[in-house]
Structure 1
Amino acid sequence: MTAPATTDGARTLRALHHGREPGDPLVLPGPWDAASARVFADAGFPALATPSAGIAASLGHRDGHTPPEEMFAAITRIIRAVDVPVSADVESGYGLAPKELVERLLETGAVGCNLEDSDHATGGLIEPARQADRLAAVRAEAGEDLVINARVDTFVRGGPDLGPETAVAAAIERGRLYAEAGADCVYPIFAPPELLPRLAAAIDVPLNAAAFDPEGPSPRELGRLGAARITFGPRLLRQTMAEAGNLVKRLDPAP
C-alpha cells in the first residue's frame, strides 16, 4: 500500500476536523506499528494518529526516550502500510529546527503532527510566546502540507500550585496563541472532561480530547462536550497487550 500524496492527504485530514456534529467527533486510533495500522485502517477509520508513547513501548523505550531516528523510521513503516492519512506524534520536535523537522515529517509521508509545549530538559513548560513562534515557523515551512495539532500541557506540567481555574486560563491563553500561530487543532491533554465546553468555546480551532481511560467518557460523549477530534495515546496498545496476556494464559504449556 502507499500513503496518499502529502498535500491531498493533509487537505483530507484537515477537512475531517470541520463540520462535525456534536457527538460525532473525528476518531483517530493510534497505531504503534504497521500491523496495528492495517487493522485500524481496515476497520474503516478515515485517518490515524500515531502515539509517541505507544511507538516507544513497541520499540522497547520509555515514553519520551525514543531516539528520533527510530521514531521517524517507525512512523514511515506505519504510513507505508496504509492508504489513509496519518498524523505523527513527534513530541516536542526532538530539538530539530523547524525546516528539518518539517522535512523529516514529510519524508515519512505524514500529513499531520502533534507538537507539545513541554520542555523535557527542565520538566516544565515552554514559554507560550516562544512555543507560538516555533509553531509559526513550522507552519511557514510546511505550508498546507501538515495539519498541526498543538498540544497544551498545562494540565500535565503546570506545577502543584496551579489550580483548576488557573490551568484553564493558561490553557486558553496558550491555545489561542497557538491557533493564531497557525495550528489547525489544539490539544489540552488531560483536561478534565467537564472543562471541555469552556475550552472549546474559547479556542477558535477544533479541540482534541484524549480517551485514555476505557472507564471514562466515550468518544461520542467527549464530542458532545466540545471535542472535534479524539485520540487515545498508548491506550489501544496497552489494551491489546492485556488481551495478549490473557491469550497466552489459555495456551497449553509445552510438553
Structure 2
Amino acid sequence: MAGSELYEKFLALHQRDRGFVMPNAWDGLSAQLLADAGFEAIATSSFALAASFGRADGRHQVTREEHLAHASLLARLTGLPINGDFEDGYGATLDDVAGTVKGAIEHGLAGIGVEDTSGDPDNPIRDFDDAVARVRAAVVASQRRIVVTGRTDNYLQGRPDLDDTIRRLTAFAEVGADVVYAPYPPDADALRTIVSAVSPTPVNVLISPADNVLSVEELLDLGVKRISLGPALYVHAMGAAEQAVRSLVKGDLKSATNGMDFSRVDSLLHREER
C-alpha cells in the first residue's frame, strides 16, 4: 500500500464519530494476537522495545534503525496500520527528526509519534520553541504519507501544568500534527479541556486520566479519538511471567508452565495462511 493511501486509511480511523483502540505490541506473536482479535491498527511501545533489549526507555539507548526494523516486522506480519512510538524522533537535530520520519515511511509505517522529551534526566522536557520546531520538521518530512502525532510528556515528567500542556498541543496542531497526545492528564475534566482546546485535531489518550481507569466507552464519550495502551499489555505479560517464576522457585512446575497452548501459538504464527 502506497504511503499516501496508508496515511488516508489510518487517518480515517481518527475521523470517525467514535474513535478506536490502538493496543501496543512488543513482538511478532503479540502483534499477531492483537490482529487476530480484530483490532484495526496497532502501535509499537518504545518502553517495551527497550525493555526487550534490556535497556531503558527515553534515554536514547535504542537506535532509530532498531525501532524501524521492529515496527516494519509488525507491519509485515499483520498487514495492519502500525503507529511508531518513536520517542523524541531519534536525533538531536531537526534533520534527524525528518530522517526518522522518512525512514518510517520507507519501512511501511502508517503513523509516528514525536515527543517533546530530551533524554536528559536533568531537563527532561524540551523548550517550547524546540519542541514545536521538531513536530513541524516531522510534518514537513511526512508529506502527508504518514500520520504525525505531536506529544508532550509534561505529566509523565512531573510538570503538571495544564496551560502549558494545552499550549504545546495547540502549537503542535497548528504546525500540522494530525493527532496530539499528553499521557496521563490528572482527571477527566483536564482531558475534556484538552480535547476541547485542540478541536478538531484528534486526541490520543494513554489508557485513561491519572486518577481513574475509565472504560473505552467513557473515554470516547469525552471526545477521545484514539486509545493506546503503551507498555501496559507488555508489563501485564511480564507480571504473569513473574508469577510463573515464583511458582517455579517453589517447585510448582504445573503452575509455572500453565500458559498459552502451543497449538494456539502455532495458529497465531500462521494466521495469514488461514
Fold agreement, TM-score > 0.5: yes
Question: Contact conserved, 1:112 with 1:149, CA < 8 A, in 2?
Answer: yes
Q: 2:86 aligned to 62, 76, 90, which one?
A: 90
Q: What's the TM-score, normalizing by structure 2?
A: 0.81
In the alignment, which residue of structure 2 is the partner of 1:218?
215
Q: Give CA deviations for 1:158-207 in whole Å, capped at 9, x if unaligned.
A: 54xxxx5xx11111111110001110111011212321111100112111
Aligned residue runs from structure 1 range 91-170, under 5 A: 91-95=87-91, 97-121=96-120, 122-157=122-157, 159=159, 164=160, 167-170=161-164
Alpha-carbon distance in structure 2 between the residues aligned to 1:45 and 1:150: 23
Q: 1:60 aligned to 54, 62, 68, which one?
A: 54
In the alignment, which residue of structure 1 is the partner of 2:268?
none
Alpha-carbon distance in structure 1 between the residues aligned to 2:62 and 2:98: 21
Alpha-carbon distance in structure 1 between the residues aligned to 2:231 and 2:97: 26
Alpha-carbon distance in structure 2 between the residues aligned to 1:201 and 1:27: 20
Q: 1:229 aligned to 220, 226, 229, which one?
A: 226
- AA aligned to 2:27 is D
Q: What's the TM-score, normalizing by structure 1?
A: 0.87
In the alignment, which residue of structure 2 is the partner of 1:26?
20
Alpha-carbon distance in structure 1 between the residues aligned to 2:187 and 2:31: 28
Mark the runs of 5 or more structure 1 residues left unpaired by the alignment.
Answer: none
- AA aligned to 2:11 is R
Question: Which region of structure 1 is more displaced relative to structure 2, 150-159 or 53-62?
Answer: 150-159
SS in 1 for 2:150: strand
Higher relative contact order (CA 8 A, sep 6+): 1
Identical pairs, percent: 32
In the alignment, which residue of structure 2 is the partner of 1:77?
73
Alpha-carbon distance in structure 1 between the residues aligned to 2:187 and 2:147: 24
Q: 1:202 aligned to 197, 204, 227, which one?
A: 197
Greater Rg, structure 1 or structure 2? 2
Mark the runs of 5 or more structure 2 residues left unpaired by the alignment.
Answer: 258-274
Alpha-carbon distance in structure 2 between the residues aligned to 1:57 and 1:66: 10
The offset of 1:146, in angstroms, is 1.0
Alpha-carbon distance in structure 2 between the residues aligned to 1:243 and 1:9: 35
SS in 2 for 1:35: helix
SS in 2 for 1:175: helix
The offset of 1:14, in angstroms, is 0.3
Alpha-carbon distance in structure 2 between the residues aligned to 1:176 and 1:99: 21
Question: Contact conserved, 1:124 with 1:158, CA < 8 A, in 2?
Answer: no
Question: Contact conserved, 2:7 with 2:144, CA < 8 A, in 1?
Answer: yes
State how many pairs are aligned.
Answer: 241
Q: Do structure 1's residue 17 and structure 2's residue 14 form an aligned pair?
A: yes
- AA aligned to 1:242 is G
Q: Give CA deviations for 1:43-62 in whole Å, capped at 9, x if unaligned.
A: 10011111110111122222
- AA aligned to 1:196 is L
The offset of 1:247, in angstroms, is 4.7
The offset of 1:140, in angstroms, is 1.4
Q: Give CA deviations for 1:10-68 in whole Å, capped at 9, x if unaligned.
A: 111101001223xxx31001011111111101110011111110111122222122233
In the alignment, which residue of structure 1 is the partner of 2:2?
5
Question: Contact conserved, 1:47 with 1:84, CA < 8 A, in 2?
Answer: yes
CA gap 1:193/1:111 in 2 versus in 1, 3 angstroms: same
Question: Contact conserved, 1:151 with 1:186, CA < 8 A, in 2?
Answer: yes
Question: Which region of structure 1 is more displaced relative to structure 2, 68-77 or 36-45?
Answer: 68-77
How big is the alpha-carbon RMSD for the aligned residues of Structure 1 and Structure 2? 2.1
SS in 2 for 1:154: coil
